[in-house]
């Protein structure tokens, strides 16, 4: 699986596990940073850097704003981020995979 696809899948799983929306992409950055501490492959792919608002990954930011594999999975409203209808369907496929 391509690194970009893996990052997009993890973002879909994180967003799909929430009821509602995340207040901002910074919240997703922080959740992904915590997750990456338990997944060495993810940590290496995301390459987090120190930032004044906490850990920041340019790779994650680009993956969410310009996804290559799940092009219509993410929606934004103001600063909030959430799954689109397509993203919710993809979450269901990933989460309830047999």
Q: In whole angstroms, how far apart are CA 53 and each of 27, 57, 71, 75, 79?
A: 10, 12, 27, 22, 15
How many structural domains is the chain composed of? 1
pLDDT in tens, 41-69: 889 899 999 988 889 999 999 999 999 99
pLDDT in tens, 11-31: 999 999 887 788 888 999 999
Distance CA 52, CA 84 (A): 30
Its domain, for residue 22, covers: 3-95
Torsional sign, CA 12, 82, 19, 53: positive
């Amino acid at each position: 699986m391509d690194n970009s696809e893996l990052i997009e899948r993890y973002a879909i799983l994180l967003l799909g596990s929430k009821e509602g929306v995340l207040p901002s992409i910074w919240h997703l950055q922080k959740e992904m940073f915590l997750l990456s501490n338990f997944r060495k492959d993810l940590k290496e792919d995301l390459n987090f850097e120190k930032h004044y608002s906490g850990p920041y990954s340019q790779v994650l930011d680009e993956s969410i704003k310009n996804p290559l594999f799940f092009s219509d999975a993410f929606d934004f409203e103001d600063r909030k981020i959430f799954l689109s209808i397509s993203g919710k369907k993809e979450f269901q496929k990933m989460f309830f995979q047999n």
